[in-house]
């Protein structure tokens, strides 16, 4: 079983990830752009039981396309987004991959909300594309 470690920028929140991600995807939606301050986000879908956190996050309650709540967790000290919990994926944590200490071996297998992707970004080779959510 693989173990990965991650943390926010300041280190106030850290975590260990065990097991393998259930999905690895880029998300091009407008909310991910806003929250990341970038053109897209790089997300891992992991089992709740595989995610062990140390330190406390602050939650921003967002709303997804479905109208269901999206709980976006971030570090209140440095502002790093760490993960989200969404009603549509019970028992899962949507982890912001950029907070991992190493991205080695992690390659996106899907891209979602590609209808909102910036036009200058090429498709990731081998990744399935979904215009909206998958």
Which residues sit at the interface with Zn ion, rule CB under 5 A?
8, 10, 12, 75, 77-78
Residue 80 Cβ vs Zn ion, minimum distance, rounded to whole Å: 5
Shortest Å, Cβ 76 to Zn ion? 8
Decide whether 10 or 88 has the Cβ nearer to Zn ion: 10
Query: Least separation, in Å, of the C-beta of 6 and Zn ion?
Result: 12
DSSP string covering the chain, please? --EEEEE-SSSSSEEEEES--SEEEEE--HHHHHHHTSS-EEEEEEEGGGEEEES--EEEEEE-TTS-EEEEEE-TTT--EEEEEETTSTTEEEEEGGGBS--TT---SEEE-GGGS-TTSPPPTT-EEESS--
Which CB atom, from 6 or from 108, has the smaller least distance to Zn ion?
6
């Amino acid at each position: 079983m693989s173990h990965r470690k991650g943390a926010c920028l300041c280190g106030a929140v850290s975590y260990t990830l065990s097991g393998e991600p259930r999905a690895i995807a880029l998300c091009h939606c407008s909310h991910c752009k806003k929250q990341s301050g970038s053109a897209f986000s790089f997300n891992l879908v992991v089992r709740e039981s595989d995610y062990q956190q140390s330190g406390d996050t602050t939650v921003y309650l967002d709303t997804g396309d479905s109208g269901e709540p999206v709980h976006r967790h971030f570090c209140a000290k440095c502002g790093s987004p760490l993960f989200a919990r969404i009603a549509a994926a019970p028992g899962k944590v949507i982890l912001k991959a950029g907070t991992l200490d190493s991205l080695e071996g992690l390659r996106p297998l899907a891209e979602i909300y590609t209808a909102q992707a910036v036009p200058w970004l090429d498709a990731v080779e081998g990744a399935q594309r979904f215009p909206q959510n998958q």
